[in-house]
Amino acid sequence: MTLWYNGILNLFCPFDGVCQTINVKFMLKGSFTELWNKAMIYTGSGWLVLVCMIWVSGHFTDNVERIVFVSVLAAGYIAVYMLGFYIKRRHSGKAVNL
């Protein structure tokens, strides 16, 4: 259960009954672009490790499979990256219309 009150996020944990409070005003500093780029770099690094593990596992038998694998991953990564900016632009447009 999540409760918002004056910029403070109260998280309730139902398992142990402990309530945690986080001041979200100071949690995320920076522009959306800066935060989105950092998130994509960190998650991209994690995905790169997983891709390398799949690559060296011997799962791919020929070069065509390798090319398809890398092409789909690159296209997906770029699509997710661009989708973040599309969502930001759409959200900004809605905020202005309110």
Residue 78 or 32, more confident: 78
Average pLDDT of the residues in 46-62? 92
Q: How much is the pTM?
A: 0.61
Segment (H or E) for 12: strand 8-12
Residues 21 and 66 in one domain: no
d(CA 9, CA 20): 8
Residues 77 and 41 in one domain: yes
Boundaries of domain holding 79: 31-97
**Residue 2 pLDDT > 60:** no
Residues 16 and 36 in one domain: no
Average pLDDT of the residues in 60-76? 94
d(CA 93, CA 98): 9
- How many independent structural domains does the chain possess? 2
Residues 11 and 47 in one domain: no
User: Residue 25 — very low, low, confident or very high, per pLDDT cuts 50/70/90?
Assistant: low
SS3 letters across 1-64:
CEEEECCEEEEECCCCCCEEEEEHHHCCCCCHHHHHHHHHHHHHHHHHHHHHHHHHCCCCCCHH
Residues 50 and 63 in one domain: yes
User: Residue 15 — very low, low, confident or very high, per pLDDT cuts 50/70/90?
Assistant: low
Strands in 13-77 per DSSP E: 19-23
Residue 77 or 13, more confident: 77
